[in-house]
Amino acid sequence: MNEQHEFTLHPFEEREFRDRFFPALYGNGGEGVEEIVRELLDAADAAGPSWTALHKLFDETRTAFKQAVETEDGGAAARTAFSAFPRFLAHLRPFFSVKGFGLTSIDRRAFPELTRFIRSAGELLLDADGRPLAGIGPLLPTRVPPRCLPGRSGGGVVFKEDVRPMLDRLRQDLPRLAEWARSHGLPAEEGVTTLLAALVHAKVEGTGLFEASDVLIEDSHFDKGHRLRFDPQGAVSPSFSRYFPFAVRAEAARAFGRELAPPEPEPQPVSEPVAPVPYTPQGTYEVGQRLHHKAFGDGEVVAILDSRRLKVQFAEEEKTLVQGLSLGRAADSSPPG
């Protein structure tokens, strides 16, 4: 698969497929399916054209996926259910995108220790005990390829429990992977940085990653801010910095023999000093508050001794003053005897 294909990496949870998406396509013998679909569309905040597009996606995928199930055709499953699932996820949350580089691009013979964590989406058709989900034959889960097929397709999956060990292995292989990608004419820096950023994000968020290719070509209704692309020359926005933090970009750059200069710290707003409040014995004060005393000038409250006394540091000395007095006792500001 060449650079014209858009590879996407979608953070996901297994239960999102097994407990909601799969039943919406295939479960319950058709009972309650429409209700599940409405729940999924609400979760994706779908409305108007987005609602129509996603509802159509479920309707069209359902028939084709059922045929794939009947024939136990793993390639057809990759192009139906496992193509539609990441498209739905794109409406749900941000995802990582890069042209010409994905999990599928990595040579399994050159990087066996890294690619062993890339598994087949067919495993999502198995329950927690390793048995096929209701209505699924025993062969279909084993026939779904662990990579994207030419055209619109679901691809490999990094399950949640594999994210951390794959990230550790990627960091060991980073310089070699960078050189390999560059020597094979792939978009090396964009691809390697995006993969590293996606794995770091999945580790922090506690999710897995679901790969797909070209599944969003005909979908123009998801939030455009959900597509996250690495641009080494682009401006660093708060959103970009969240998903491609400096530490990740710097780590990837070192694999290509470059050192990134740390970003300039953002200027902090200059706050105007708060004017001291006039001191009166009737007032009540708190530590850090600035006061103005007619006799002693400006000072700062450094301690509250009790409900009636406080210590104030003035320019020349520290004074104990009173607070919270009634008007009848306010003739003197010295502490009560």
Q: What is the pLDDT of residues 26-64, one digit of tens each?
A: 865 455 566 766 676 666 665 556 667 777 788 888 899
Q: What is the pLDDT of residues 235-260, one digit of tens each?
A: 555 667 889 999 999 999 999 999 98
Closest CA to 90 of 240, 230, 238, 212: 212
User: pLDDT above 70 covers what percent of the chain?
Assistant: 85
Give 225's pLDDT tier (boundaries 50, 70, 90): confident
Weakest-pLDDT range from 5-14, 56-65, 258-267, 294-303: 258-267
| Residue spans of beta strands (DSSP E) within the chain | 6-12, 95-99, 119-120, 153-158, 208-213, 227-229, 277-278, 290-293, 297-306, 309-314, 318-322
Residue 184 CB neighbours (<10 A): 12
The structural domains of the chain, with segments of one domain joined by +, span 6-255, 277-329
What's the average model confidence in pLDDT over 123-147? 95
SS3 sequence of 119-142: EEHHHHHECCCCCECCCCCCCHHH
* Paired tokens of 334: 């010295």
Q: Is 210 helix (H, G, I), strand (E, B) or coil?
A: strand
What's the average model confidence in pLDDT over 217-221? 76
| One-letter amino acid of 153 | S
Tell me which of 51 and 157 has the higher pLDDT: 157
- Pick the most confident of 54-68, 113-127, 220-234, 297-311: 113-127
What backbone torsions phi and psi does residue 12 show, to the nearest 5 degrees? -155, 165
| One-letter amino acid of 73 | D
What's the average model confidence in pLDDT over 195-223? 92
* Number of residues that make up the chain: 337
Q: What is the pLDDT of residue 30?
A: 52
Q: Is the pLDDT of residue 334 over 60?
A: no
Closest CA to 321 of 227, 295, 161: 295
Q: How far is 134 from 136, CA to CA, in rounded Å?
A: 6
Are the C-beta atoms of residues 216 and 249 closer than 8 Å to each other? no
Q: What is the pLDDT of residue 330?
A: 47
Are the C-beta atoms of residues 64 and 75 closer than 8 Å to each other? no
User: CB-based contacts of 177: which residues, under 8 Å, 6+ apart?
Assistant: 106, 111, 114, 170, 192, 255
Are the C-beta atoms of residues 199 and 158 closer than 8 Å to each other? yes
Q: What is the pLDDT of residue 137?
A: 95
User: CB-based contacts of 160: which residues, under 8 Å, 6+ apart?
Assistant: 13, 14, 202, 206, 207, 208
Q: What is the pLDDT of residue 53?
A: 73
Weakest-pLDDT range from 73-77, 209-213, 306-310: 306-310
Q: What is the pLDDT of residue 336?
A: 46
Q: What is the pLDDT of residue 115?
A: 97
User: CB-based contacts of 336: which residues, under 8 Å, 6+ apart?
Assistant: 308, 322, 329
Q: What is the pLDDT of residue 139?
A: 97
Give 274's pLDDT tier (boundaries 50, 70, 90): confident
pTM: 0.76
Q: How far is 191 from 265, CA to CA, in rounded Å?
A: 28
Torsion of CA 158, 90, 123, 71, to 10 degrees: -140
The alpha carbons of the chain give a radius of gyration, in whole angstroms, of 30
